């Protein structure tokens, strides 16, 4: 009798698992992520303190930041990290929401997997349900007229309400009115399609958060300065600015090269040549008419005193990102040589000044015509607080940007999720078979958002959901969990959140649903995992082999 020979395909030490148990294992890993993020959702959500291997402390409730810092290693759970990052890059807000939705969809599908229903049937039902949900959002969304006037008071108020909702769960919620004006002004200055690189973030420890300033232009910390710097003027109106990438100091070539001289006068000629070269550069800059000279490379003491004697301000070692933003705002090039610098190569800003902010001195370039860059000078008592302030402002910026480019909004606070849940349940009643059960499970998963909001506020989530289902059945489509300051927490806190101006960009909800369903379907479609341990640890296979041999040895 011929026996089938054993064929070894995978390297020794490879871990392979498959089947229904593998899908359930992946779902359980994602539910662990959900348990971590749930307490952070909503205005009354809590923050998480994370300490990394270098003992660096981060305090945040931003979903994308938490997932990035948790250093997730499970292959399936990493998909949730990816969708949170994608949501953060695309919309800027809703990273916790998209992760919770994806995890809840997997949780609802777990019962079907255990009942041996094919994951492909579940995926088909989820994809059909999300199409209905997106169509319903587009039908329900509130849009302003196509002709948007950014100076219109009503339109500005709409942007402020969206920014305020984005800030409701952030550290700056208590000063939302102060920061919403700042964020809306920043976005209106930048335009609806601004490049995030055109936003500068400067941290200045000390003071309170309300001492944060928005500079409609470029601001950077005072650079390293040489003797003569204090003699330079620190205030100009309508100055000409030149941006360089040139080193303006004596090179001292005697330290960098070997020179053989026959007489002493030759050495003096070399020294004089070095001085002649740098003076030619400085004279060329002065001839251009520039009053503010900036360079990414050092500007030495000779050049500093030279400019001071002629009433010119200079700064060397300017950070490249700040120099790039300034050159873009002034519409000038960064020159790598001074030989071609002309008066036409200088940009003009309305006001330049060096001012004291906290314990630091900052150079401010403002009143730039048609500027497309802004700088946030952020204040706070602790480094962790300022870092969270930056994340909060960035989220609000992205939300207002999306609202400005696509000014359609829906009510937040779980209102849109409850309305979508009702819509999908009604549709599910019209179809037979397993798809009906799967679509009802999808509708049930959407309720995780209002349920979590209520739980984090210390409310009875069961009673809240019952009330919301009742209101939505009556046609109150914008009823959600009311966590505003005037809400009555002794009673069931539900209300019309569209009237209370708790608004979110419709695009944010559409992206959250699409991303959550795509992630859930991807995880459900994987029923086998192959992990090569030896790739991560070259000694793992050898150690396993030696352990196997050791078990057979006599004691």
Whether pLDDT at 489 is above 80 = no
Q: What mean pLDDT do residues 418-442 have?
A: 92
Closest CA relative to residue 105, chosen from 125, 86, 131: 125
Q: What mean pLDDT do residues 396-407 have?
A: 84
Q: How confident is the model at residue 546 (pLDDT cuts 50, 70, 90)?
A: very low
- In angstroms, the CA 295 to CA 316 distance is 5
Instruction: Tell which wins on pLDDT, 404 or 304.
Output: 304
What's the pLDDT tens digit per position in 497-507?
Answer: 888 888 888 88
Exposed/middle/buried for 175, CB within 10 Å: 0-12, 13-18, 19+?
middle
Which pLDDT does position 280 carry in this prediction?
86
- Displacement of CA 235 from its chain's centroid (Å): 35
Whether pLDDT at 121 is above 50 = yes
Number of alpha carbons in the 13 Å side-chain half-sphere of residue 106: 32
Q: What mean pLDDT do residues 414-422 have?
A: 93
Whether pLDDT at 288 is above 60 = yes
Residue with tokens 């749930």: 38
Q: What mean pLDDT do residues 166-194 have?
A: 86
**128-to-100, 133, 439, 443 alpha-carbon distances in Å:** 20, 9, 8, 12
Q: How confident is the model at residue 118 (pLDDT cuts 50, 70, 90)?
A: confident
Instruction: Tell which wins on pLDDT, 395 or 148.
Output: 395
Q: How confident is the model at residue 545 (pLDDT cuts 50, 70, 90)?
A: very low
Mapped onto helix, strand or coil, the DSSP state of residue 259 is: coil
Q: What mean pLDDT do residues 33-55 have?
A: 87
Q: What is the torsion angle, in degrees rounded to the nearest 10, for the CA atoms of residue 143, residue 145, residue 150 and residue 154?
A: -70
Whether pLDDT at 92 is above 60 = yes
Instruction: Tell which wins on pLDDT, 548 or 365.
Output: 365
Whether pLDDT at 127 is above 50 = yes
Which pLDDT does position 88 carry in this prediction?
82
- In angstroms, the CA 224 to CA 300 distance is 10
Q: What mean pLDDT do residues 125-144 have?
A: 90
Closest CA relative to residue 204, chosen from 376, 37, 331, 330: 376
Q: Which residues contact 290 (CB under 8 A, 6 or more apart)?
A: 240, 241, 242, 312, 341, 346
Which pLDDT does position 293 carry in this prediction?
92
Whether pLDDT at 439 is above 90 = yes
Closest CA relative to residue 484, chosen from 510, 460, 503: 503
Instruction: Tell which wins on pLDDT, 89 or 541.
Output: 89
Whether pLDDT at 365 is above 90 = yes
Helices in 242-368 by DSSP H: which ranges?
264-287, 301-309, 320-330
Whether pLDDT at 543 is above 50 = no
pLDDT > 70: what percent of the chain?
87
Whether pLDDT at 205 is above 60 = yes
Whether pLDDT at 455 is above 60 = yes
Fold of 166-212+381-406: GROEL; domain 2 (3.30.260)
Instruction: State which H helix or E strand residue 160 sits in.
Output: helix 153-167
CATH superfamily of 218-370: GroEL (3.50.7.10)
Output the six-digit token pair for 237.
């109106």
Mean pLDDT of all residues belonging to the chain: 83
Whether pLDDT at 413 is above 80 = yes
**193-202, 207-216, 441-450, range with greatest mean pLDDT:** 441-450
Provide the residue ranges of all domains of the chain, joining segments of one domain with +.
14-143+411-529, 166-212+381-406, 218-370
Q: How confident is the model at residue 76 (pLDDT cuts 50, 70, 90)?
A: confident
Comparing 2-16, 116-130, 457-471, the range with the smallest average pLDDT is 2-16
Q: How confident is the model at residue 14 (pLDDT cuts 50, 70, 90)?
A: very low
Whether pLDDT at 312 is above 70 = yes
- In angstroms, the CA 308 to CA 293 distance is 11
Q: Does 1.10.150.120 match the CATH number of domain 14-143+411-529? A: no
Q: How confident is the model at residue 470 (pLDDT cuts 50, 70, 90)?
A: very high
Q: What mean pLDDT do residues 31-55 have?
A: 87
């Amino acid at each position: 009798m011929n026996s089938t020979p054993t064929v070894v395909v995978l390297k020794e030490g490879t871990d392979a698992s498959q089947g229904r148990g593998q899908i359930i294992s992946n779902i359980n890993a994602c539910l662990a992520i959900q348990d971590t993020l749930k307490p952070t959702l909503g205005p009354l959500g809590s923050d998480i303190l994370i300490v990394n291997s270098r003992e660096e402390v981060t305090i945040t409730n931003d979903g994308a930041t938490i997932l990035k810092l948790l250093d997730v290693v499970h292959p399936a759970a990493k998909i949730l990290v990816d969708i949170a990052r994608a949501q953060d890059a695309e919309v800027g807000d809703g990273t916790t929401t998209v992760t919770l939705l994806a995890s809840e969809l997997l949780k609802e599908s777990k019962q079907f997997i255990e009942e041996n229903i094919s994951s492909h049937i579940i995926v088909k039902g989820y994809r059909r349900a999300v199409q209905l949900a997106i169509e319903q959002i587009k039908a329900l969304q509130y849009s302003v007229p196509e002709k948007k006037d950014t100076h219109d008071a009503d339109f500005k108020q709409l942007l402020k309400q969206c920014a305020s909702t984005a800030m409701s769960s952030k550290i700056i919620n208590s000063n939302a009115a102060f920061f919403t004006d700042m964020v809306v002004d920043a976005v209106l200055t930048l335009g609806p399609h601004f490049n995030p690189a055109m936003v500068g973030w400067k941290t200045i420890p000390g003071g309170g958060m309300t001492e944060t300033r928005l500079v409609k232009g470029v601001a950077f910390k005072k650079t390293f300065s040489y003797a003569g710097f204090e003699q330079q003027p620190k205030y100009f109106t309508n100055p000409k600015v030149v941006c360089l990438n040139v080193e303006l100091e004596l090179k001292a070539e005697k330290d960098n090269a070997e020179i053989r001289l026959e007489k002493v006068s030759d050495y003096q000629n070399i020294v004089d040549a070095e001085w002649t070269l740098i003076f030619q550069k400085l004279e060329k800059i002065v001839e251009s008419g520039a009053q503010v000279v900036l360079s990414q490379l050092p500007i030495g003491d000779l050049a500093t005193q030279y400019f001071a004697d002629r009433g010119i301000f200079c700064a060397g070692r300017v950070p490249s990102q700040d120099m790039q933003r300034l050159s873009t705002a002034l519409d000038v090039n960064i020159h790598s040589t001074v030989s071609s610098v002309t008066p036409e190569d200088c940009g003009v800003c309305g006001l330049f000044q060096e001012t004291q902010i906290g314990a630091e001195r900052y150079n401010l370039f403002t009143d730039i015509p048609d500027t497309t860059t802004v700088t946030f000078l952020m204040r706070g008592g602790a480094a962790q607080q300022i870092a969270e302030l930056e994340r909060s402002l960035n989220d609000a910026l992205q939300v207002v940007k999306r609202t400005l480019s696509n000014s359609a909004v829906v009510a937040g606070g779980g209102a849109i999720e409850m309305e979508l849940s009702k819509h999908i349940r009604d549709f599910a009643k019209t179809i037979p078979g397993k798809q009906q059960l799967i679509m009802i499970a999808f509708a049930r998963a959407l309720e995780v958002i209002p349920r979590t909001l209520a739980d984090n506020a210390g409310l009875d989530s069961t009673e809240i959901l019952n009330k919301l289902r009742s209101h939505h059945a009556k046609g109150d489509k914008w009823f959600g969990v009311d966590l505003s300051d005037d809400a009555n927490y002794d009673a069931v806190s539900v209300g019309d959140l569209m009237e209370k101006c708790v608004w979110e960009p419709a695009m944010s909800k559409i992206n959250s649903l699409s991303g959550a369903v795509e992630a859930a379907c991807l995880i459900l479609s994987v029923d086998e995992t192959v992990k090569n341990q030896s790739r991560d640890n070259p000694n793992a296979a050898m150690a396993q082999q030696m352990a196997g041999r050791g078990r057979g040895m006599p004691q």
